[in-house]
Structure 1
Amino acid sequence: MESKRFGNRILIRLNPGDEVIGSVMAVCREEAVKLGTVSGIGAVNRAVIGLFRTDTKEYVKSELRKEFEITALIGNVSTMDGETYLHLHATLADEEHHAFGGHLNEADVSATAEIVVDVMEGEVDRAFDANVGLNLIKF
């Protein structure tokens, strides 16, 4: 993994074997990012994606193991209890052009990933909302 800051933007390049969530989290901590947006593309060969079930307030997770293009990686950076908090979603496409998407829990890079963190000034924290069952942004 390598990263470089350009003003309020950080460009991250991930290498084969790098894990997406952990790598972005490490860069955000190193660069003291408290608030921002995330976008990216790349290729992975393993991913864990989830869907939040509003009726049970639980995530249903699926592990996918084959070659995928990250056709869209999008999300945000905030904080929760003073710690960096990532909320990322991804759409992954396979060789047959089938798309899979959801909340991104884990993903292992197979070739590369190119990710941009757009840093915003300020800080927004999160708190657990029992009615919804999620960690929501609080202002």
Structure 2
Amino acid sequence: MDHVHEDDRLVVRLDPGDEVMDSLETLRDEYDIENGFLAGIGAVDRATLGHYDVETQEYSEEEFTGQFEVTSFLGNIGPDRIHAHIQLGTDTYESLGGHCSGARVSGTFEILVTLGETPLTHRLDDRTGLDVFDI
């Protein structure tokens, strides 16, 4: 992983074999990030996607392997959690997407982290069973 810190943002490049979420945790700890929003693109060969069922208030996860283009990676970083969603394109131009709990870079992965001021801490929302921003 290489990165540059510019004023209110981090420009990040992940390399083959880098774990996306682990790399973001490393950046959060290094820069003591309490408020950051993520946007990225790249390529991965493994991703764990999750889907939340509001009715049952349960997550299901599935790991996918193959060669995927990351057409969208969006999320946020707070002091207590990193929350990201990912959209993957297959070699047949179909897409997979969901909550990203893990992904391994196969080619490159480029992420822009925009830093803010309001800490993005979470609290449990009893209606949905989700951890939501405590703002």
**Normalised by the size of structure 2, how large is the TM-score?**
0.96
2:16 corresponding residue in structure 1: 16
2:52 counterpart residue number: 52
Whether the aligned pair in 1 keeps the contact of 2:33 and 2:79 (CA below 8 Å) is no
1:42 aligns with 2:38: no
Pick which of 127-136 and 112-121 moved more. 127-136
Query: Would you say how many aligned residue pairs link Structure 1 and Structure 2?
Result: 135
Unmatched 5+ stretches in structure 1: none
Q: Alpha-carbon deviation of 1:79?
A: 2.8
**2 CA distance for matches of 1:130 and 1:53?**
14
Deviations 1:48-96 (A, max 9, x none): 001101111111111110000000000111233xxxx111001000111
Runs of 4+ in 1 over 3 A off after TM superposition: none
Letter matched to residue 88 of structure 1: A
Residue 28 of structure 2 is aligned to residue 28 of structure 1: yes
2: CA distance, partners of 1:25 / 1:116: 14
Q: Distance in 2 between matches of 1:40 and 1:25?
A: 16
Q: Deviations over 1:96-130 (max 9, x none)?
A: 10100000010000011001100002313101223
**Aligned twin of 2:72:** 72
Task: Name the CA distance, whole Å, in 2 between partners of 1:90 and 1:17.
Answer: 18
Answer yes or no: is 1:100 the counterpart of 2:99.
no
Normalised TM-score (structure 1): 0.93
Q: In structure 1, which of residues 109, 116, 119 is the aligned counterpart of residue 112 of structure 2?
A: 116
Provide, for residues 3-27 of structure 1, a one-character-per-residue CA deviation record: whole Å limited to 9, x for no partner.
1101111011101110001101111
SS at match of 1:79: coil
> Counterpart of 2:91 in 1: which secondary structure?
coil
CA contact (8 A) 1:79 1:126 kept: no
Match of 2:63 in 1: 63
CA RMSD of aligned residues (A): 1.0
The answer to which of 64-73 and 22-31 deviates more is 22-31
Distance in 2 (CA, whole Å) between partners of 1:35 and 1:56 is 30
